[in-house]
Amino acid sequence: MRLVDNPPNPYVSRRDEWLGPLPPAHLEVIEEQARSIITRNDSPDVGARWTVNPYRGCGHACTYCYARRTHEYLGWGAGTDFETRLTVKINAPYLIRKELAAPSWRKERVAFSGVTDCYQPIETRYRLTRRCLEACLEVGNPVCVVTKSYLVVRDSGLLAELAGTCGANVCISIPFTDLRSGCALEPGAPPPAQRFEAIRNLSAAGVPVGVLVAPVIPGLTDWQIPEILRRAAEAGARFAGHQALRLPGNVAGVFLKRLREAMPAAATRIESRLRGIRGGRLNDPRFGERMRGRGPYWESVEQLFEAACRRYGLKGPPCNLGGSCEAPGRVGANRRGVQLRFGFGED
């Protein structure tokens, strides 16, 4: 585990400084009783109207995860705190049954997750995601899942049953084929080979599965897009989406610091490419712009993505920005709407 390393929290006036060497960051799991579990999203950047997040923080430790700044709302840090201070909503299965049974609920598609990965390692212990999916099956509520984790294969039978009765699909996030880059920037996530194998196993089980190339890091991962889509299609993926790297608030500092440590020779070029698709900035906070890029370089990335989709027979994502199911269309028909955020990262 890395040493404690968090940028200053903008919501906390106090700042702590260590007098001496930094201590190691140890895993801490906090159980909490949440007040609600299904969250409504109105942002046009989000790929679903309703999301469920059983966990806060994420053991995958992806350096670029936009969700890091949500830890600052809890009074913690966006750096190692996000990776090692995890909160578990232990009453999530009870809450989702209660909320799905409400007279006002219209059985709209629910996305797992909107912020951190619902199949991160602590899911093996708590099984909150599985129990929430079982609740959705009981009432016939459609779902979609976005994850980096091979653990999703554990629930392939459940997801196949959901797909056959009320509707379900899984999107596996794979931004790298290069293992070295993945280990440097996603140190706690499964290697790419395991994620392609997850696609293969889910497809064999009858689960509609696709690939999410996210985030696309200009100058680092864009050239890997055709290889990712080829391998995903060969493994059984039916659809594909992509999104541009997003670095809100202190996430930019966390990402750039670790990028410079891991890839000092390439860091300046990558930062320059990123600023090039953001109008000179590292992040565009405007609704509708947060997950996309602009300019000639990003247009070339999108053209590369669409060409690879056509070549390998991959359709656009099955959920539109409203979170409802849409009929399969032409490849690239949802080009500006494939900014799937869940786990993303929404994880």
Examine the pLDDT at 77 and tell me if it is beyond 90.
yes
With contact defined as beta carbons under 8 Å apart, do 18 and 4 qualify? yes
Tell me how many degrees the CA angle 307-308-314 measures, rounded to the nearest 5. 110
Place of tokens 């809100």: 248
Give the SS3 label for residue 155.
Answer: helix
Is 210 contained in some domain?
yes
Question: What's the token pair of residue 252?
Answer: 């930019």
Is 4 contained in some domain?
no
Using one digit for the tens of pLDDT, what is the confidence trace for 223-252?
999 999 999 999 999 999 999 999 999 999
Q: Report the candidate in 252, 256, 247, 251 with the shortest Cα–Cα distance to residue 78.
A: 251
How high does pLDDT run on average in the chain? 88
Amino acid at 74: L
Amino acid at 38: I
The pLDDT assigned to 347 comes to 34
Per-residue pLDDT band for 97 (boundaries 50, 70, 90) equals very high
- What's the total number of domains in the chain? 1
Q: Can you give the CATH number for the domain in which 221 is found?
A: 3.20.20.70
Q: H helices within the chain, ranges in order?
A: 80-84, 92-100, 123-126, 128-139, 156-165, 179-185, 192-204, 225-235, 251-262, 267-277, 296-312
The pLDDT assigned to 103 comes to 96
If phi > 0 it is left, if psi is from -120 to 50 it is alpha, else beta; for residue 13 that is alpha
Examine the pLDDT at 327 and tell me if it is beyond 60.
no
Element of type H or E holding 86: strand 85-89
Instruction: Round to whole Å and give the CA distance between 29 and 247.
Output: 26
Examine the pLDDT at 322 and tell me if it is beyond 50.
no
Phi and psi at residue 155, to the nearest 5°? -105, 20
The pLDDT assigned to 46 comes to 67
Using one digit for the tens of pLDDT, what is the confidence trace for 139-158?
999 999 999 999 999 999 99
Using one digit for the tens of pLDDT, what is the confidence trace for 123-144?
999 999 999 999 999 999 999 9
Is 344 contained in some domain?
no
The pLDDT assigned to 89 comes to 98
Instruction: Round to whole Å and give the CA distance between 211 and 198.
Output: 11
The pLDDT assigned to 60 comes to 96
Query: Cis peptide leading into 113, omega within 30 of 0?
Result: yes
Element of type H or E holding 213: strand 209-216
Question: What's the token pair of residue 321?
Answer: 């920005």
Strands 143-147 and 209-216: unpaired
8-state DSSP, 343:
S
Instruction: Round to whole Å and give the CA distance between 317 and 326.
Output: 9
Between residues 319 and 249, the one the model is more confident about: 249
Is 8 contained in some domain?
no
Is 214 contained in some domain?
yes
The pLDDT assigned to 213 comes to 96
Per-residue pLDDT band for 344 (boundaries 50, 70, 90) equals very low
The DSSP code sequence of 220-264 is TTGGGHHHHHHHHHHHT--EEEEEE----TTHHHHHHHHHHHH-T
Instruction: Round to whole Å and give the CA distance between 9 and 19.
Output: 19
The pLDDT assigned to 335 comes to 32
Give the SS3 label for residue 144.
Answer: strand
Examine the pLDDT at 319 and tell me if it is beyond 80.
no
Question: What's the token pair of residue 286?
Answer: 């405007």
The whole-number average pLDDT for the span 314-324 is 57
Using one digit for the tens of pLDDT, what is the confidence trace for 40-49?
988 767 667 8
Give the SS3 label for residue 319.
Answer: strand
Least reliable range by pLDDT among 51-65, 204-218, 282-296, 308-322: 308-322
Is 319 contained in some domain?
yes
Examine the pLDDT at 182 and tell me if it is beyond 90.
no
Instruction: Round to whole Å and give the CA distance between 230 and 225.
Output: 9
The pLDDT assigned to 328 comes to 30
Examine the pLDDT at 336 and tell me if it is beyond 80.
no
Is 65 contained in some domain?
yes
With contact defined as beta carbons under 8 Å apart, do 96 and 56 qualify? no
Per-residue pLDDT band for 14 (boundaries 50, 70, 90) equals confident
The whole-number average pLDDT for the span 7-24 is 79
With contact defined as beta carbons under 8 Å apart, do 325 and 156 qualify? no
Using one digit for the tens of pLDDT, what is the confidence trace for 102-127?
999 999 999 998 789 999 999 999 99
pTM: 0.88
Is 255 contained in some domain?
yes
Residue 327 lies in domain: 28-337
Q: Report the candidate in 343, 314, 323 with the shortest Cα–Cα distance to residue 108.
A: 323
The pLDDT assigned to 334 comes to 34
The pLDDT assigned to 166 comes to 96
Instruction: Round to whole Å and give the CA distance between 57 and 103.
Output: 32
